[in-house]
Structure 1
Amino acid sequence: MKKWRLVLLLIAATLLLSSCNAVKWFMGNVKEELVGRELILQTYDEDSQMIDSVKGKSISIEADEKFAIKDKEGSIVSKSAVLNITVGGNQMLHVGSSMLAYDTDLVDIFNEYSKTVDIDKVNRSVPFINRMVNDMKNFTTGTKKVVLIRSQSGKPLATFAGDDVSYYASDIDKATGLMIDGKYLLIYRCDYTIYDTKLLLND
């Protein structure tokens, strides 16, 4: 009887841990090393205009260590900002412009919003992100955090929302990793702000 209780306890603990973003982050990193992730890669100019978009099933992103600055002992003084990306066995190098890499199941609500609203004509007396979130409550109702991502010149380029949002340090210079409801997002050379959704909703 005790053995069954122990087995049930272990199963419950496994299920609980499997729902944690930290575990999913770790498992995602292991998966990326072994077989790669299924992601959408998008790069942007300073005006938040998309330069290119690549979608692949076996994507791996890492810093190209040849460009890291090291001291005499070989320790890294400054991490490499050059990305060495493999997409289904093909190579892609990237540095400089803003880039997002995100799970194919993650919805960019900024992209959805811009399809229906002329952003250049939005009333500037209402903060942009507040207006967007309030106009798209069907995407954000009940969510706990909203991530607004901007180009290096400060222009909004993407927005994600989720009930469970966590952020992590990355081995890549000027990059941050996030888990949004268990889905992966890498932000490279972008400005970003993470808000509690309640701060933005005008109820």
Structure 2
Amino acid sequence: MKQKRHHKQQLSGQKKTVLLFNKPFDVLTQFTDDQNRKTLKDYIDIPNVYAAGRLDRDSEGLLILTNDGKLQHQIANPSQKTAKTYWVQVDGDISQTAIDKLIQGVELKDGLTLPAKAQKIPPPNVWERTPPVRFRANIPTSWISLTIKEGRNRQVRRMTAAVGFPTLRLIRYQIGAWTIDGLDNGKYRIL
């Protein structure tokens, strides 16, 4: 019993670390990979921090890493309903009808999504992606800001496809109150 109490005191005495990382395209949200792909270890040299939630390899933007299990659970657990805002470049000039559908909720194979906040936005001033998004001269692209409180697998991409405007580029801009403002792609900031 004394040993367990001592262990808890050591853990609670550990300084809480929270860092914001602007994840580049084609980077896995983990520290190891047996296929030699880019991972968090290629960018972050802080020990004992772990990603609070996922961001797909082909998505970019804000990822929070922490050694605080409670915070990690709060951000990653869908039942906590932490709002996440994405800047999404879609194929085509998105219509107000499609945006209204995103706002109301979209029927996906795993059920109806919760209502979202969505609006068309001007192209954000962001870094160039490597490789660049495919460009087709005869088909325009447009950008939306989409805020969801769920965390289904590839949810944003499935939502935009369901309303007829497939995602070309996906950047997570905000989680809760944290944003990527002032944070260069591939860099992190300790809070």
More helix by share: 1
For the criterion TM > 0.5, the same-fold answer is: no
TM-score by length of structure 1 reads 0.29
TM-score (norm 2): 0.30
Structure with greater Cα Rg: 1
Report 1 or 2 for greater relative contact order, CA contacts < 8 Å, sequence distance ≥ 6.
2
Higher strand share: 1
